[in-house]
Amino acid sequence: MADLALADVHKTFGDTVALDGVSLDVASGEFFTLVGPSGCGKTTTLRTIAGLEPPTAGTVSFDGRDVTGLAPEDRDVGVVFQNYALFPHMSVAENVAYGLRFTDPPDGQTVDERVTELLELVDLAGMGERDPDQLSGGQQQRVALARALAPAPSVLLLDEPMSALDARLRETLRRQVKRIQSELGVTTVYVTHDQAEALAVSDRVAVMHEGRVEQVGRPREIYERPATRFVASFVGENTLFDGTVTDAGDGTVTVDVDGTTFRVTGDATPGEPVTVCVRPTALVVEGDANRFTVTVDTAEFLGETTRYYADWDDRTVVFRTPDPDLSGEITLGFDPDEARLI
């Protein structure tokens, strides 16, 4: 399996800057996810890795070898797109075999043997003779995955492969994809706009924004220690308070947010503008420190907990607690250790 690297990749379409200096290193065998809002450049990054989109500047390399000028079929990549793109006039087995049009099956297998093996891998054994329209959406997407994996590529690229499926099917399919990926150990780059999905499946995540990579890290790092205001706002439903540092010392920073004072663990300089970032579960009803009073706006019952959207001086505050019956004015607080200073 290959490691892959992008070095300072730029891509413009006319006046549109799609990629504005993207550099990434993906380790061999890693499940690496690009996540970000619509238009941030995820698909363009993936297409650049695949060789479907020549970069305006910068390089793509596999195992230290510059592949920037190579055609897709010479790159040893398998790609699965959002829409299944199966051939309707071909059987399931023929669709999978189509993945072998440029390459012989690995390990001296025959095409039939390889197709049988792959259909087993994606839990579709015995379905080779069916037409694609006799399969569910999730099954069709597994055929597309089998087709991409047929030549045993070193790198697997997945562009929102679940987005057309309903929520339950997405969860099942992403567990299957994850299992197959780790069974094969294939280096995988996965694109999604869904931050929860990104955190759930990945070894590491790159959060993209406006053609740039804002932060790369393990899911827990991204969730617990967002490096920028954008990452904090995109991942994990954080509430962000913009304010000014009034006092700092001994690892504690005092921040004024429009007349309310919060104390947060961290380092900063008095006068510095900062953002205090608090996760929904760090906001505690009747908490001891950093208290402020909000008005509950809407509640979403999630089962174990209820998520509340509340108003504090025209700011939206999001908190989650097991109590499903809160309404009206509520005093919240948060521990100085549980907030993050950005």
- Binding residues vs ligand ATP (CB under 6 A): 13, 16, 18, 36, 38-44, 193
With contact defined as beta carbons under 8 Å apart, do 60 and 49 qualify? yes
Choice between 193 and 307, CB closer to ligand ATP: 193
SS3 of 285, please? strand
Q: How far apart are CA 233 and CA 226, in angstroms?
A: 9
Closest distance of CB 215 from ligand ATP, Å: 16
CB of 211 to ligand ATP, least distance (A): 7
Angle at 303 between CA 300 and CA 308, to 5 degrees: 25
* CA-based nearest residue to 310, from 271, 266, 278, 335: 278
Tell me how far, at minimum, the Cβ of 8 lies from ligand ATP, in Å. Answer: 17
Name, in order, each residue with C-beta under 8 angstroms of 108's C-beta and a sequence gap of 6 or more.
none
The structure tokens listed for 137 are 């959406």
Q: Which is nearer to ligand ATP, 22 or 96 (CB)?
A: 22
In the complex, least distance from residue 82 CB atom to ligand ATP, rounded to whole angstroms: 8
Question: Which is nearest to 334 in space by CA: 320, 324, 313, 315?
Answer: 320
Name the minimum Å distance from CB 83 to ligand ATP: 12
Distance (Å, rounded) from C-alpha 164 to C-alpha 161?
8
> Which strands, in side-by-side order, build the sheet including 57-62?
16-26, 4-13, 57-62, 65-66
* 42 vs 75 by CB, closer to ligand ATP: 42
Least distance (Å) between residue 328 CB and ligand ATP = 39
- Nearer Cβ to ligand ATP (13/301): 13
| DSSP-assigned letters across all residues of 74-136 | GTTEEEE-SS----TTS-HHHHHHHTTSSSPPGGG--HHHHHHHHHHHTT-TT-TTS-GGGS-
Q: 6 vs 10, 19, 31, 51, 78, CA distance in Å?
A: 10, 11, 16, 12, 18
Residue 125 vs 196, nearer CB to ligand ATP: 196
CB of 218 to ligand ATP, least distance (A): 22
